[in-house]
């Protein structure tokens, strides 16, 4: 009888533990990281949860109240978009990722395992994406102008999507790196405006340009944004291989050689026929009387 009671008690304890996990039984989140570009701010972490637990994200500014994104409560994923919730761009935020029971399940735990993120300041820490720009060379070839478009952000105000100029104002500059096409030498020019004029270029030469946002008030590792795609101006005296592909040039050379060969062949045939005709004409002439 005692053995039966002991077995029943052991079964009951095992059942309770499986239904209501003890503190620390849910794995803590690891590698909690902020990923932000143009104020599109995502919190990420590991590992992927099993069916036995989920994650909830709480975040708060220094000396501020804790908040939650409704889409990141008892979630089965390891990302949480907080872009529209970090409204004070100059505040320092911290996020906690809690390991909790899955949605619909209950637990007797009062405090769930959690992992805190590093502090994050949107204004100082978000990465700046690559800008687009248009290239224009003046008719006299003395001046090249770059028209830079400010990258859009994930922020909105009064129904309008803000760009990085709206956020950083006169703190935003653009750094231009340029040099002659196919040359390793580079020059750098910094502009406070979106219209950048360069006049120290050699006329008739092709130059290549890259542009990136530059915010000198930030820390060194966050001052420069992502570099734009390279654009090059046209060369007034390009080589034939720059105008046409190698295949086109090779085909043209082949056709020229073929044409020369045909001309030579026709000329040789014509000469042979003419010599033959002259020879036949001489042989057919009657001998003259002495």
pLDDT at 23 over 60: no
Phi, psi of 160, rounded to the nearest 5 degrees: -110, 135
Per-residue pLDDT band for 249 (boundaries 50, 70, 90) equals: confident
Domains in the chain, CATH or no CATH each: 17-125 (2.60.40.10), 132-242 (2.60.40.10)
pLDDT at residue 234, rounded to an integer: 86
Per-residue pLDDT band for 30 (boundaries 50, 70, 90) equals: very high
CB atoms within 10 A of CB 60: 15
Q: What is the Cα–Cα distance from 227 to 247, expressed in whole angstroms?
A: 33
CA 58 from centroid of its chain's CA atoms = 30
Q: Dihedral angle at the C-alpha atoms of 228, 234, 237, 239, nearest 10 degrees?
A: 60
- Compute the half-sphere exposure of residue 60: CA atoms within 13 Å on the CB side of its CA: 10
Lowest mean pLDDT among 101-105, 183-187, 229-233, 249-253: 249-253
pTM over 0.75: no
pLDDT tens digit sequence for 81-130: 999 999 999 999 999 999 999 988 877 778 899 999 999 999 999 999 99
What is the separation, in whole angstroms, between the first and last Cα of the chain?
A: 160
Whose CA is closest to 115, among 99, 100, 96?
96
């Amino acid at each position: 009888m005692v053995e039966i009671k002991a077995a029943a008690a052991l079964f009951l304890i095992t059942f309770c533990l499986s239904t209501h996990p003890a503190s620390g039984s849910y794995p803590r989140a690891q590698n909690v990281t902020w990923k932000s570009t143009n104020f599109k701010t995502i919190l990420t972490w590991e590992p992927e949860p099993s069916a036995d637990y989920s994650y909830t994200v709480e975040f708060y500014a220094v000396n501020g109240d804790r908040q939650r994104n409704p889409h990141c409560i008892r979630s089965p994923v390891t990302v949480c978009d907080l872009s529209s919730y970090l409204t004070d761009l100059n505040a320092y935020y911290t996020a906690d990722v809690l390991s909790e029971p899955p949605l619909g399940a209950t637990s007797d735990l009062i405090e769930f395992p959690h992992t805190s993120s590093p502090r994050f300041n949107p204004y100082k820490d978000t990465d700046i994406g690559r800008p687009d720009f248009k290239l224009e060379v003046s008719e006299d070839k003395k001046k090249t102008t770059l028209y830079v478009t400010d990258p859009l952000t994930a922020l909105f105000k009064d129904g309008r999507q803000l760009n990085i100029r709206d956020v950083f104002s006169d703190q935003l500059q653009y750094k231009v790196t340029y040099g002659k096409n196919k040359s390793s030498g580079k020059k750098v020019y910094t502009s406070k405006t979106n219209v950048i004029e360069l006049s120290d270029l050699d006329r008739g030469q092709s130059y290549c340009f890259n542009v990136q946002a530059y915010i000198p008030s930030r820390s060194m590792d966050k001052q420069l944004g992502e570099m734009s795609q390279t654009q090059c101006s046209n060369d007034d005296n390009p080589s034939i291989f720059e105008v046409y592909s190698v295949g086109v040039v090779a085909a043209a050379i082949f056709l020229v050689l073929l044409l020369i060969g045909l001309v030579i062949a026709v000329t040789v045939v014509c000469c042979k026929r003419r010599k033959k005709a002259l020879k036949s004409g001489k042989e057919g002439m009657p001998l003259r009387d002495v």
